[in-house]
Structure formats: structure tokens, C-alpha cells
């Protein structure tokens, strides 16, 4: 994937992350390396307790590494202030979780408009872009519906639309189909693929669904605190 691309969307270099435990430390990441390129979808398959959530939090600038460096679009982030990290996270990163976390009192359209307003876009521009994304994801007739009026798959597609509303460089997803039945899961996954391919963003998707993982460009796991490529 690196040929023709000047820099990865995400590059983890020798990342270390540890947490206090008793009188010592629990080392979760020990020199983890990973590069994800624009337009690439990478599956993260890791059992609970191996550092999957930690890896996503560090990659998403929600936690600072104890060692190494996290590059987003070629920019080193370890020495950034909290304000700089927050701004970069808002402008360059999109997040999708197992539960949609949509605001229940707002419509699907409004949920996708809000992050754009926070970034500083004018309301009319934000509304038009939200309409375009939701229509692209097959929700053009559900714009005015609140989350409680949508199916689980529709809720998760709105969550995906919200995650990409600010045209991020990188999409991080933690079990985005984990709460869905197999058919709905497949449709939501296709939604993720279509938006990644259309917008050339990079995606790291944590999943326990081996069938979905097999359809991604690459598969990685975490072993002894390091990131290992899977066949």
C-alpha cells in the first residue's frame, strides 16, 4: 500500500503504554509498530485483555504513549499539548463504537450536522454535507428520524456518517457491528467499506468477526505488546 503514497495516515513507531499495577506496572504495549495508508482498511483481531482498547485509544490520541511516537498524517503527536491533540482529533480522526452514542433528542441529520458546527462550518454547509453523506449511506428518507425511530443498523450507519462528517484522515472503529445480527452486520460493514473507498480515508477496525476481518485489506493482532501481521 505504501507505493505511490507519501505518508501513512497513521504510523505508530515503537509505541509503549503501561499502567500502574500494585507496586509495579502492567506493560500493555511494548514497542508496537503499525502503518495504515490512505484508502486501506485494517482489521484488528485481538482477544480481550491483550491491549486492543489501549491501542485504539493511543491511535486516537485519547491516551498518550509512555514511549515511542504516534504520527497522524505524518505529524508527530507525543509532544503536542492537550489543546493541540483535541484539535487534531476533531479535524483528522473519526470514531465509531459498538454502541452508536447518538444524541437521542436530535434527528439523524442533526447528529451529523453537530460535529461540523463544532469544527466551525456554517450551518447551511454542514446541513448539505450531512444530507449528502446520509443519502450516500442509504438514509436519505430517514433524515428527520430520531435514533429511537431507527433500526440498529440504521443507527450505526448514522454513527458512521457522523464519524466521517468532518472528512477525517483516519477512521477508528471498535466492534462497530458487535451489537448487530449477521445480516445487518454485513450491511453496516459494506457501508464502512464504501465510505472508506469513496473518501480514501484509512480505517482501523477492531472486530471479533473473522468473516468480516477476512474481507479487509490486512489483519493484525497484538502479541506480547507488539503488533503482528496475520495471514
- The pLDDT, as a whole number, for residue 170 is 94
Q: Give the C-alpha distances (Å, rounded to integers) separating 68 from 5, 31, 138.
A: 23, 7, 41
pLDDT digits (tens, 9 = 90+) for 171-204: 999 888 877 788 888 888 888 888 888 888 999 9
pLDDT digits (tens, 9 = 90+) for 97-156: 877 789 999 999 999 999 899 888 899 999 999 999 999 888 999 999 999 999 988 998
Closest C-alpha to 204, from 186, 194, 188, 192: 192
- The pLDDT, as a whole number, for residue 137 is 84
pLDDT digits (tens, 9 = 90+) for 39-59: 999 999 987 778 888 999 999
DSSP 175-230: STTTTS-HHHHHHHHHHHHHHHHHHT-EEEEE-S-HHHHHTSSEEEEEETTEEEEE
Q: Give the C-alpha distances (Å, rounded to integers) separating 82 from 10, 39, 61, 229.
A: 19, 28, 9, 32
The neighbour count for residue 140, using CB atoms within 10 Å, is: 11
pLDDT band at 3 (very low <50, low <70, confident <90, very high): very low
What gap in Å lies between CA 226 and CA 98, rounded to an integer? Answer: 24
Q: Which CATH architecture has domain 10-229?
A: 3-Layer(aba) Sandwich (3.40)
- The pLDDT, as a whole number, for residue 100 is 79
Amino acid at each position: 500500500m505504501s507505493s505511490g503514497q507519501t505518508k501513512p495516515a497513521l504510523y505508530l513507531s515503537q509505541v509503549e503504554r503501561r499502567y500502574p499495577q500494585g507496586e509495579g506496572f502492567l506493560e500493555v504495549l511494548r514497542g508496537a509498530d503499525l502503518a495504515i495508508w490512505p484508502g486501506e482498511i485494517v482489521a484488528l483481531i485481538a482477544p480481550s485483555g491483550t491491549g486492543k482498547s489501549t491501542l485504539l485509544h493511543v491511535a486516537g490520541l485519547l491516551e498518550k504513549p509512555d514511549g515511542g511516537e504516534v504520527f497522524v498524517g505524518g505529524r508527530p503527536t507525543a509532544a503536542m499539548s492537550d489543546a493541540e491533540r483535541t484539535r487534531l482529533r476533531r479535524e483528522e480522526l473519526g470514531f465509531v463504537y459498538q454502541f452508536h452514542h447518538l444524541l437521542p433528542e436530535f434527528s439523524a441529520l442533526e447528529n451529523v450536522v453537530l460535529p461540523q458546527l463544532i469544527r466551525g462550518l456554517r450551518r447551511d454547509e454542514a446541513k448539505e454535507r450531512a444530507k449528502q453523506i446520509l443519502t450516500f449511506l442509504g438514509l436519505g428518507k430517514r433524515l428527520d428520524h430520531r435514533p429511537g425511530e431507527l433500526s440498529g443498523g440504521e443507527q450505526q450507519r448514522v454513527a458512521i456518517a457522523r464519524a466521517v462528517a468532518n472528512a477525517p484522515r483516519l477512521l477508528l472503529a471498535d466492534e462497530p457491528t458487535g451489537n448487530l445480527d449477521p445480516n445487518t452486520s454485513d450491511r453496516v460493514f459494506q457501508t464502512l467499506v464504501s465510505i472508506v473507498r469513496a473518501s480514501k480515508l484509512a480505517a482501523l477496525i477492531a472486530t471479533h468477526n473473522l468473516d468480516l476481518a477476512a474481507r479487509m485489506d490486512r489483519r493484525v493482532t497484538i502479541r506480547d505488546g507488539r503488533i503482528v501481521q496475520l495471514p
